[in-house]
Chain A
Amino acid sequence: NAGVTQTPKFRILKIGQSMTLQCTQDMNHNYMYWYRQDPGMGLKLIYYSVGAGITDKGEVPNGYNVSRSTTEDFPLRLELAAPSQTSVYFCASSWTDGGANVLTFGAGSRLTVL
């Protein structure tokens, strides 16, 4: 049981390049999330999904896109990378505990845009 797996762990992009951050979970969770974390800041929600085929914007969605074709996978696409997208990205999935969503995080992907 691997939990939430993210790839790549590190990536350097040039301004204007595009890339996809991969996220896979093997816990059969319906809910999945992408957060970004900037130094000294909390986690900001980019996009989330409540099930295959359903996605919605979070607090900071501009410059990103997601898809959810299967329960397991929730990739995050960066189009036209900008220095402001330099951050650590965390994918998470959640299970319910008495009605509350409890998040489990992947190891993170550190992205630098130069």
Chain B
Amino acid sequence: QKEVEQNSGPLSVPEGAIASLNCTYSDRGSQSFFWYRQYSGKSPELIMSIYSNGDKEDGRFTAQLNKASQYVSLLIRDSQPSDSATYLCAVNPSGGGADGLTFGKGTHLIIQP
């Protein structure tokens, strides 16, 4: 069974610091990786996608991918209280991906003012 693993947290980070969220996946053939943010009682919203090894930056967010280690991470710089949410790592499994994404259980991030 293809799995995506995340530390459920909560991860508590002071305002202004860097929050680091990690994810590992079991399907070595996976090609596409996503980070979704989910506020309590709301639906997931896409914040980052990454398809190649290395780093991808978008504003305060940086996604990092290491396919050899089957590891994806998300860094949030200058963390704000509004970043407090659950962050879901999602992976497009190998074999096409028409059957959607496989999600981790999410990491609950708390930014302390």
Contact = CB atoms under 8 A, between A and B. Distances in A.
Nearest to B1: A59
Contacts, number: 64
Interface residues of B, number: 24
A113 to B, nearest CB: 19
B26 interface: no
Interface residues of A, number: 27
A22 B32 CA distance: 29
A9 B92 CA distance: 28
A45 B32 CA distance: 17
Interface stretch (A66-74, A79-87, A102-110): A102-110
Interface of A: 31, 33, 35, 40-43, 45, 48, 50, 56, 58, 90, 92, 94, 97-108
9 contacts: A42-B106, A43-B44, A50-B98, A97-B49, A99-B31, A100-B92, A101-B98, A102-B46, A107-B42
